[in-house]
């Protein structure tokens, strides 16, 4: 196992110095889902939830929120985001029914954007929950994970399963 970078030699938490790293394109893709009752998926798809267009609001929340990742995760660096794509797909064909969420985040910087992609997926799922909780309190946010990261010294990593 490689050394944990967020701890110094004395074991104290610290922010990694990325000043000597090269600026390169960084890309991260994350995914997750929020499981819910079929009626909830149907209402979201039909656009009849009382609070408005759930998927559009969740997409905007994901994009706005990922920009604040370094404010919420103590040792995370602020990065210059160059692009974001967030998709939310209602899936009635799965059991249980769900909204599948994907976020692709791009930056040109000295450190990666994995945390920003994971933050986007998390915030989209939380926003869906908030907007739909009055009709379905049993929703479950599941399987938030990094699928791929590209760029930087470590190159490309892709989830195998």
Q: What is the CATH number of the domain that holds 85?
A: 3.30.70.640
Burial of 154 (0-12, 13-18, 19+ CB in 10 A): exposed
Q: Which of 9, 109, 130, 143 is catalytic?
A: 130
> Would 69 be classed as within a structural domain?
yes
Instruction: Give 27's strand partners.
Output: 106, 150
Domain residues for 29? 24-150
> Would 65 be classed as within a structural domain?
yes
Instruction: Please give the chain's pLDDT, 161 residues, in tens.
Output: 565 565 666 665 655 656 566 678 999 999 999 999 999 999 999 888 877 899 999 999 999 999 999 999 888 888 999 999 999 999 999 999 999 999 999 999 888 899 999 999 999 999 999 999 999 999 999 999 999 999 888 889 999 97
Nearest Cα to Cα of residue 57 among 44, 70, 46, 76 = 44
> Would 30 be classed as within a structural domain?
yes
> Would 13 be classed as within a structural domain?
no
Residue 130 known to be catalytic: yes
pTM metric for this prediction = 0.88
Question: In sequence order, which ranges of 67-158 are alpha helices (DSSP H)?
Answer: 69-72, 114-132
How far apart CA 148 and CA 133 sit, in angstroms, is 31
- Strands, E assignment, 36-130: 81-91, 98-109
> Would 11 be classed as within a structural domain?
no
Domains held by the chain: number: 1
pLDDT given for residue 11 in this prediction: 63
> Would 159 be classed as within a structural domain?
no
pLDDT given for residue 112 in this prediction: 83
């Amino acid at each position: 196992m490689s050394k944990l970078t967020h701890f110094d030699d004395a074991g104290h938490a610290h922010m990694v110095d990325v000043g000597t790293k090269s600026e390169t394109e960084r890309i991260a893709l994350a995914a997750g889902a929020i499981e819910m009752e079929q009626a909830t998926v149907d209402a979201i798809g039909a656009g009849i939830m009382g609070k408005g267009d759930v998927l559009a609001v969740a997409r905007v929340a994901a994009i706005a929120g990922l920009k604040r990742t370094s404010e919420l995760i103590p040792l995370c660096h602020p990065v210059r985001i160059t692009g974001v794509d967030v998709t939310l797909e209602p899936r009635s064909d799965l059991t249980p029914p769900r909204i599948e969420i994907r976020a692709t985040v791009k930056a040109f910087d000295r450190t990666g954007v994995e945390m920003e992609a994971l933050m986007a997926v998390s915030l989209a799922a939380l926003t869906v929950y908030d907007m739909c909780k009055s009709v379905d309190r049993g929703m479950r946010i599941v399987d938030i994970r990094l699928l791929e990261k590209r760029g930087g010294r470590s190159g490309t990593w892709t989830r195998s399963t």
